[in-house]
């Protein structure tokens, strides 16, 4: 399994190279440049700026420079945040995004999975319909609608959580200072997890119903095992397979979702830097974030495949 993981990581290198190359040229093909504004700058000023960022060189030379720097782990200076390098910005943004994304993923799995199991066990009951109704709403309402509503309700009207930003504020932080550091993350994590909770609940329900019909479950029941034992020991493992295979796409949508959520809740994660960079044609910043995103997706897919191997005896990971 270790050698499999290593092999996968080695194959990832050319993928990453392709992503960097494509992004580099697509970024430079986009109309306009980083120094555009309503009034044009004098040619001398533009020449100085382009020289400062190596943009005066032919594009292929810039590409060579860039590859060389990235290979050494240097993503270059940011153009919009003049005092900072891209690496410095990643060091600020990455922990925030990881905390946000990972928490949302765990929350989605825990809540979505449990709801799905409950709905499957009480199939066609009121509980089932209620859970599935909520899940449908969760899938249908996009997070850019849900997030501002949540912020308005819990931040402005009820004043128990911060409206936005990483600073702890609101009733909860005052009543329980112990929880203060996590209060800024509560609303963003829930907003980010909601659509995934809904999808995971539906997936788990379907898989669970399917599994509960299997012969081996009937055998288990025939042996006289109780409901809890049947569900937890026998059914859940098999029912979790489709859920696990969805984790890859779920991680990807949480990654893209965080771009929106970070903007709405003003969290200094990578998503916000990504949008700023793209709008302002900050080539080094956007490329740096693309590399990190690509790495994250590659790693997450690898983890999902490894988990699959652990859970499903039919799949041999080697």
Q: Which residue has the tokens 């190596």?
A: 54
CA distance readout (Å), 283 to 63, 94, 155, 241, 276: 11, 18, 36, 40, 11
Only one of the segments 14-22, 155-163, 207-215, 231-239 lies at the binding site for another protein (rule: CB under 8 A); that segment is 155-163
Tokens standing for residue 278: 């793209």
Residue 29 near another protein by CB under 8 A = no
**Which CB, 38 or 318, lies closer to another protein?**
38
Which of 265, 274, 283, 293 lies at the binding interface for another protein (CB under 8 A)? 265
List binders of another protein among 84-143 (CB under 8 A). Answer: 84, 89, 92-93
Residue 145 near another protein by CB under 8 A = no
**Which CB, 5 or 160, lies closer to another protein?**
160
Residue 180 near another protein by CB under 8 A = no
Q: Which residue has the tokens 């194959």?
A: 11
Only one of the segments 11-19, 25-33, 101-109, 306-314 lies at the binding site for another protein (rule: CB under 8 A); that segment is 25-33
**Which CB, 88 or 305, lies closer to another protein?**
88
Which of 202, 205, 234, 281 lies at the binding interface for another protein (CB under 8 A)? 281
Residue 82 near another protein by CB under 8 A = yes
Answer left, alpha or beta for residue 13, where phi above 0 means left and psi between -120 and 50 means alpha: alpha
**Spatial contact of 267 and 183, defined as CB atoms under 8 Å apart:** no
**Which CB, 6 or 41, lies closer to another protein?**
41
Question: Could you please report the per-residue DSSP string of 130-158?
Answer: HHHHHHHHHHHS-HHHHHHHHIIIIIIIS
Only one of the segments 77-85, 97-105, 187-195, 229-237 lies at the binding site for another protein (rule: CB under 8 A); that segment is 77-85
User: How far apart are the C-alpha atoms of 151 and 278, rounded to whole Å?
Assistant: 26
User: How far apart are the C-alpha atoms of 303 and 314, rounded to whole Å?
Assistant: 18
Angle between helical axes of 183-212 and 86-107 (0-180°, round to 10): 50
**Which CB, 143 or 263, lies closer to another protein?**
263
Name beta bridge partners: 237.
Answer: none
**Which CB, 21 or 48, lies closer to another protein?**
48
């Amino acid at each position: 399994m270790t050698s499999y993981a290593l092999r996968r990581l080695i194959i990832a290198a050319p993928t990453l190279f392709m992503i960097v190359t494509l992004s580099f040229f697509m970024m430079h093909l986009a109309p306009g440049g980083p120094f555009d504004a309503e009034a044009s700058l004098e040619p001398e000023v533009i020449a100085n700026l382009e020289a400062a960022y190596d943009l005066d060189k032919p594009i292929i030379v810039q590409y060579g420079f860039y590859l060389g720097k990235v290979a050494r782990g240097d993503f270059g200076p940011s153009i919009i945040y003049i005092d900072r390098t891209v690496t410095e910005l990643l060091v600020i943004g990455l922990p925030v995004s990881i905390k946000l994304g990972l928490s949302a993923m765990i929350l989605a799995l825990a809540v979505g999975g449990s709801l799905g199991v409950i709905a499957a066990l009480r199939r066609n009951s009121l509980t089932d319909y209620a859970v599935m109704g909520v899940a449908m709403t969760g899938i249908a309402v996009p997070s850019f609608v849900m997030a501002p509503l949540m912020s308005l309700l819990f931040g402005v009207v009820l004043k128990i959580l911060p409206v936005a930003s990483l600073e702890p504020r609101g009733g909860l932080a005052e009543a329980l200072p112990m929880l203060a550091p996590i209060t800024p993350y509560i609303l963003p994590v829930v907003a980010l997890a909601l659509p995934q909770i809904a999808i995971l609940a539906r997936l788990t329900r379907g898989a669970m119903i399917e599994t509960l019909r299997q012969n081996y479950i009937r055998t288990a029941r025939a042996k006289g095992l109780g409901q809890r034992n049947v569900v937890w020991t026998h059914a859940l493992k098999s029912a979790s397979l489709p859920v696990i295979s969805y984790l890859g796409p779920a991680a990807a949508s949480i990654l893209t979702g965080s771009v929106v959520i970070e903007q709405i809740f003003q969290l200094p994660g990578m998503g916000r830097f990504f949008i700023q960079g793209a709008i302002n044609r900050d080539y080094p910043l956007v490329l740096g974030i693309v590399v990190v995103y690509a790495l994250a997706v590659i790693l997450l897919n690898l983890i999902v495949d490894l988990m699959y191997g652990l859970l499903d005896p039919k799949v041999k990971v080697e």
